[in-house]
Chain A
Amino acid sequence: MNLQRVEMSKQKPEVRRQNFDEVAFGYTPEEAMAEASRCLDCKKPGCVGNCPVEVNIPDFIRCIKAGDFAEGIRIIRQKNCLPAVTGRVCPQEEQCEGGCVFAKRGGQIAIGRLERFLADWEASQGINTGSIKKPRPTGRKVAVIGGGPAGLTVAGDLIQLGHQVTVYEALHKVGGVLVYGIPEFRLPKRIVRREVDYLTSLGVEMVTSYVVGKTRTVDSLLEEYDAIFVGSGAGLPWFMEIPGNNLNGVYSANEYLTRMNLMKGYTFPSVQTPIKQHHRVAVIGGGNVAMDCARTALRLGAEAHIVYRRSRQELPARLEEVENAEEEGVIFDFLTLPLACLGNENSWVTGLSCQKMELGEPDASGRRSPVAIPGSEFVMPVDAIIYAIGNSPNPLIPSTTPGLAIGRKGNIEAEEATGKTSKARVWAGGDVVTGAATVILAMGAGRKAARAIHRYLQTLEEE
């Protein structure tokens, strides 16, 4: 039994903190085969059950072992239309890899890296759509609202079942959080482009800059389509209720990352998206989005701080992202609670007033809750503050679609197993249902909804 994971080589921290190129290089074929050969091919694999989209993991690992990469990627693509994405951004340690028999001893098979390897290998061969048989057209039409991970999964699944699929995206590029949110150094845009192109080659129609709810309502689309999937995401950023939020230099993570990623602000002034040259940036929050913001700010030459009210142990971000951030020089200010954003006479941020915390009793989330230490107030001098504390579901569809049941947090109510909403012929999934979560959970919701939509469309054919 070999518990030694094959390491994936990365750019050195002192180099990568100066560029926006991808941090990790990925496995070579030899490395992938070595890692795959550690897999015991368990009779009852723990990995598959932990995958929200149920990829047949042991089978594709067996293919890598045998050097049959084409068959390996074909197996993944049966269940996952975005393998190059999920291989990079899935929290594998909590999912597939967490279910590996080696996990307890820290030597779990690097399933994510292997998935990424196959997807990248496929791309290096040129996109091969010949391996997928064109299904018989059913004549049924489905509209997918939102071109993020949930919507793209639905589109990928339904097009392969012979239905006609149109994706409506509000922004000018398809990909949702994959293009506006996750930075280039973690998920290069060309990879998202490749996956989207693949779906287009299967026949999915992509309509960009189309704001369903505004340009056209869901009800109007229902006149033209047999079924609708809503995956419009979590698009309304939260701010803490403290003074000074509207000073210049205070951003939501959405704004900051959208400026940098979708609008390519990091290449300013060669593009027209203006960005500020900040010197010291405080990012409030401790999740993956907070890490993305801090590491982006760092690459643009700022001293980047993560301000988090609990300790390192409670950070919701993936450990790998935390370690990457630490290596690159992001400074973590744990047990620190922001009290106010401070500004100068020109309304520009000059500091973040904070208070030190200590950990008390566990709260409802099971994490020890932070308690303020009296008299510990201090000012952190910064010239930018970024809120990365979450988002509410985007209100555009809920507020313009009569008959759609909406939860207390503004989310669309949908059955967990099928994504079915209270409105006939409308399904929903991803962040607009759950609130901000992960790419793979949105894809899992998309998979379930696609299955339910297909079942519904089949009943139409029988009529």
Chain B
Amino acid sequence: MIPVLERTMVAPNIHNLRLQAPDVARSAKPGQFVILQAEEDGERIPLTISDWDAEKGDITVVFMQVGATTGKLALLKAGDSIPTAAGPLGNPMELGNFGTVICVGGCYGIASIYPIARALKEMNNRVICVVEARSSFLFYWQEKLRKTSDEMIFITRDGSLGRRGHINNLGSIIPSIKGGVDRVIINGCNYVMMRGCEETRPLGIKTIVSLNTLMIDGTGMCGVCRVTVNGSNKFACVDGPHFDGHEVNWDELSSRRQAYLREETVTLRTSAPEKER
């Protein structure tokens, strides 16, 4: 069993979960994920490792409460435990001295972009973090991100902080950056990543995304995470989850991601009276 050290809501519906998992913490690298289960016989869901402490042996994931399993995870408190936290899975993000890198985070991606920004900063890149949300009260981890970036740019749908609008602001942000941009890395929901890639494509800037697919084992066995990249079939778990966003078949990804939308709501409704199930 994996002990829960802390679970806090960092923004409405977005939770920070810190777990005792020493062997995972020792091996974790930026961009890798763990497969969690909230309970025995429950779903296995992939979540990015957003922070870790190899010495203390803990890992942190940030998730949005959307379905049955994240609903259970959102109720955990320190002292509880969960049956499974397997990882670190997937390939680490490709790192290097690229020059100027824009790290974009939306939703839980604000957290998952953090270790990537931190590593890029340590490798002497100029790191510009762009975070987006519907409104300013949905931001979190701002201090952590500020420490790892040379500049922070906020986008809010309602204009309550930073630029007003959506991820398509990227198209005007990038040309405004002096010295140019060498690489863009986007973490967030598939829609934010897809729209972001549409903005960077005409600018010809390499854009790396971290795909969210359904997964069961996360080790290449089940193949549910398959995605078409540059015309060939890839498994997000063992070939990814990071891909060149300009080569991803986004329509296919989005429809595969939503395959069980209706069934997922069935378990959400199981607290309803018997006759309504």
Contacts and interface: CB of A to CB of B under 8 A. Distances in A.
**Are A and B genuine complex partners?**
yes
Nearest to A249: B259
Interface string B208-241: 0000000011011111101110000101001000
Interface in A213-267: 214-216, 235-237, 239, 245-246, 248-249, 251-252, 254-255, 258-259, 263-264
Nearest to B254: A347
A424 interface: no
A417 interface: no
Given A246-B252, A395-B238, A209 B266 contact: no
A246 B223 contact: no
Contacts of B264: 274
A139 interface: no
A264 B41 contact: yes
Given A209-B86, A258-B221, A259-B216, A216 B27 contact: yes
Contact of A235 (B35, B220, B233): B220
B42 interface: yes
B86 A170 contact: yes
Interface residues of A, number: 40
A438 B219 CA distance: 21
Given A209-B86, A216-B27, A246-B252, A271 B217 contact: no
Interface string A278-307: 000000000000000000000000000000
B77 to A, nearest CB: 21
Contacts of A235: 217, 219-221
Contacts of A264: 41
B24 interface: yes
Contact of B217 (A171, A216, A273): A171
A210 B22 CA distance: 12
Contact of A272 (B69, B89, B217): B69
B220 A272 contact: no
Interface centre among A251, A252, A264, A272 (most CB of B within 10 A): A272
B23 interface: yes
Nearest to B222: A255
Interface string B61-105: 000000011000000000000011111110000000000000000
A235 B220 CA distance: 6
A248 B255 contact: yes
Given A254-B222, A258-B216, A259-B216, A347 B23 contact: no
Nearest to B67: A272
A237 B68 contact: no
Contacts of A395: 220, 238
Contacts of B266: 268-269, 274
A272 B43 contact: yes
A276 interface: yes
B252 A210 contact: no
Given A236-B221, A246-B228, A263-B216, A275 B263 contact: yes
B37 interface: yes
B267 interface: yes
B246 interface: no
A236 B217 CA distance: 11
A153 interface: no
Interface of A: 170-172, 180, 208-211, 214-216, 235-237, 239, 245-246, 248-249, 251-252, 254-255, 258-259, 263-264, 268-269, 271-276, 346-347, 394-396
15 contacts: A210-B23, A214-B88, A248-B256, A252-B224, A255-B222, A258-B216, A258-B217, A263-B216, A269-B263, A269-B266, A269-B270, A276-B259, A276-B263, A347-B256, A395-B220
